[in-house]
Amino acid sequence: MNVIVRPFRPHGNILAQPSKSDSHRKIICGALSGLPCTIDNIVLSEDIQATIEALGSAGCKIKISDSSAYPGRKFIQNEGIRPYSNGVRFIDCRESGSTLRFMSMIFAVIGGRTVLTGRGRLPERPMEHALEFFRRYGISYTIPGNGIYLPLEISGSLSGKEYEVESSVSSQFISGLMMGVAAASRKAVIKADGAFESKGYVDLTAGVLEEYGVEVTGDNPYSMDATGGIQQRDTIVEGDWSNASYFIAMGRMGGSLTVRGLQDYSRQPDRVIVGLLDEMSDGTDNDINVSEFPDLMPTLAVYAATLPVNTTITGKRLRYKESDRIGAVCRGLRAIGIDTAELEDGIRIKGGSTIDGGVVDSCNDHRIAMAFAILGCVSRKDIVIEGAGCVEKSYPDFFRDLVEAGGIIS
């Protein structure tokens, strides 16, 4: 599906989408509790559906209905069955890196045999540090090899009570390890060794586990006491700062637009978007490292394209997302007339250019599609987003909300 975004002026207000990060964690904790839990304010993006189906494949029974409190959104009830199915668990992670990383660690702790599959770029996304962790702590595994990591079959149960994880491992592996320890009703000490990137997402996991009655103390290392298991909770998913970033940035580009339903005290790392946009607008050249909040990179890049100053954005793992986001953003910016240089670990954007419109390839990456769509509010001509249907991965209602915010699309 291609979408044409015509020049427009943003206005009004929109309700923030529920947080994908918070949704994943609360759905998992509710399911792993083995108790009847409810979660309100859910949007069934492809990634969230992947996590729900993964838990179903492991034996958990989840009922989905319409939310009465949040029109257009969903209400989830876990029927209280511990998801420890007999035999081999076959889990299709679709294209969700979050689902893959959470589930691989969770079932490495719980034990048994698990086969994890995926599609798109997911089988190529690096897992070598996670595999080294499996080797060190007694998990057997098989992978296809030659740079392909899925299907991944793991068997056994993690040995020991103290775990040291290479800091370059995705924070989602560490979060999955923490949720697995909680599901197995164990005590553990977990430490990320080295420069700990994306730490905020691990802190978010710790916060959700605490909400579900698991004691988490310390700040790397994290000491966990889950001997009482994951407790019953009825909860609500908070607003998503990652997906709100597009509309927050759009409001800064011109017009008058506000986003409702965000928590200032949230543990989501992407809540820094407001402060970053303030800093970028102070009239001096910008140098931003997004390693702690890599999902903001496309938003920051398109915002930088509207500024009169130069901006450099760097960060680890940006080439290993749903697309090579460094290459995808560079090509997209050049396609609409922005002078951009591609670096090994980031991009450099020359300020002061006019956005003339053009055709942008989303590279099947939801965050590329959404970020470039908001530039319609400053472009002189139409912007065509190729493959715009990829927004279903995280934000199915994005274009509906864009129209509500003043967007003109066809």
- Look up 92 and say whether it is catalytic: no
What secondary structure, in 3-state letters, does the chain show? CCEEEECCCCEEEEECCECHHHHHHHHHHHHHCCCEEEEEEECCCHHHHHHHHHHHHCCCCEEEEECCCCCCCEEEEEECCCCCCCCEEEEECCCCHHHHHHHHHHHHHHCCEEEEECCCCHHHCCCHHHHHHHHHCCCEEECCECCECCCEEEECCCCCCEEEEECCCCHHHHHHHHHHHHHCCCEEEEEEECCCCCHHHHHHHHHHHHHCCCEEECCCCEEEECCCCCCCCEEECCECHHHHHHHHHHHHHCCEEEEECCCCCCCCHHHHHHHHHHHHCCCCCEEEECCCCHHHHHHHHHHHCCCCCCEEEECCCHHHCCCCHHHHHHHHHHHCCCCEEECCCEEEECCCCCCCCEEEECCCCHHHHHHHHHHHHCCCCCEEEECHHHHHHCCCCHHHHHHHCCCEEC
Q: Which residue of the set 92, 240, 270, 295 is catalytic?
A: 295
Q: Which residues are catalytic?
A: 295
